Amino acid sequence: MAATRYRAIVTGASAGIGEAFAERLARDGHDLILAARRKDRLDAIAERLAKETGADIEVFALDLSKAADLAKLEERAAADVHLSLLINNAGFGGYRPFVELEPRIADELVDVHVRATVRLTRAALPGMIARDRGAIVNIASLLAFSGTLVADPLPQRVVYAAAKSFMVTFTQTLAGELAGTGVRAMVCCPGIVKTEFHEVQGMDLSHVPRMSSEDIVTATLAGLELGEVICVPALEDASLVEKIGESQRALLGSASVGARSGAGPQLATRYNTTTRS
């Protein structure tokens, strides 16, 4: 009897990190469902990888900011009994000052990074949990942690960074819920990657040292094996990631100490006008 071939869904698979995931997973023995807007590029990737690896590859040419397109991929994910990996990679920058960001672009940023990630994850998880096998991988960005940093030299990025921050918190919390199920959740937060991501926004980063898409994929898959929830491919000191969690727990613990003692939350003294001189 032939061994079961597991399937992976990769969104944003027509270039960059998504294409690198498709190549690596096909070579590792996965069948694939590739989703992106550019059908010609998806078809070319699928044809090449099928020929080189023997993988069975389906192509979904769609726009995840459109509800009807997203529903098609949700339905496919929910029905696949061999689905073992979902890579939520689709995204775009939409970099510009927030007051100049067209409402339509703001909606698309939220739709692609937040709504599509949530809906596809929700579609894929029941089957994975029933089969006691699988992983959800969300591709965020180091900009998820950039809220206190000024824009120069970083881009104007309010909605993009906030959406990526959502992906981090979503994944952290989901990973806790999935403990003991055989299904894992991980978020990868790359820095600057050598892809067309910035070029399509008119940004020339050819002079900036950048990590390769292949290295991002290597880090992500290795991080899954290591049990990481937050993967930062270029971070040597992994304890810095744990310090984020320590800081979160310390803040929550300190702010709720009154509630735990039965006295109820107490207004911080800096907000109490009666204590000011």
| 2 domain residue, yes or no | no
* In a shared domain, residues 216 and 258: no
Cα 81 to Cα 95: distance, rounded to the nearest angstrom: 39
Query: Please, which pLDDT band fits residue 211 given cuts at 50, 70 and 90?
Result: confident
Q: How many domains does the chain have?
A: 2
| 14 domain residue, yes or no | yes
- The segment with the largest mean pLDDT, out of 104-108, 204-208, 272-276, is 104-108
Is 165:114 a contact under the CB 8 Å cutoff? no
Looking at residue 215, its pLDDT comes to: 93
Give every strand in the sheet of 134-139, ordered side by side: 57-61, 31-36, 7-11, 83-88, 134-139, 183-188, 230-231
Looking at residue 269, its pLDDT comes to: 86
User: Whole-model pTM above 0.75?
Assistant: yes
* In a shared domain, residues 54 and 78: yes
Looking at residue 74, its pLDDT comes to: 98
| 12 domain residue, yes or no | yes
As a whole number, mean pLDDT of residues 232-255 equals 92
Phi, psi at 31, each rounded to 5°: -80, 160
* In a shared domain, residues 60 and 159: yes
Question: What does DSSP assign to residue 133?
Answer: -
Output the average pLDDT for the chain: 91
Residue identified by tokens 């100049």 is: 100
* In a shared domain, residues 186 and 68: yes
**What pLDDT digit, counting tens, does each position of 16-57 carry?**
999 999 999 999 999 999 999 999 999 999 999 999 999 999
- Show the domain range for 210: 7-235
Active-site residue list: 160
**What pLDDT digit, counting tens, does each position of 6-15 carry?**
999 999 999 9
**What pLDDT digit, counting tens, does each position of 98-113 carry?**
999 999 999 999 999 9
Give the containing element (helix H, strand E) for 231.
Answer: strand 230-231
Q: Is the dihedral of CA 147, 178, 68, 220 positive or negative?
A: positive
Q: What percent of the chain stands above pLDDT 70?
A: 88
Is 129:182 a contact under the CB 8 Å cutoff? yes
* In a shared domain, residues 169 and 84: yes
Query: Please, which pLDDT band fits residue 197 given cuts at 50, 70 and 90?
Result: low
Does the pLDDT value for residue 172 go beyond 70?
Answer: yes
Q: Is the dihedral of CA 154, 160, 161, 164 positive or negative?
A: negative
Looking at residue 268, its pLDDT comes to: 86
Question: What does DSSP assign to residue 193?
Answer: B
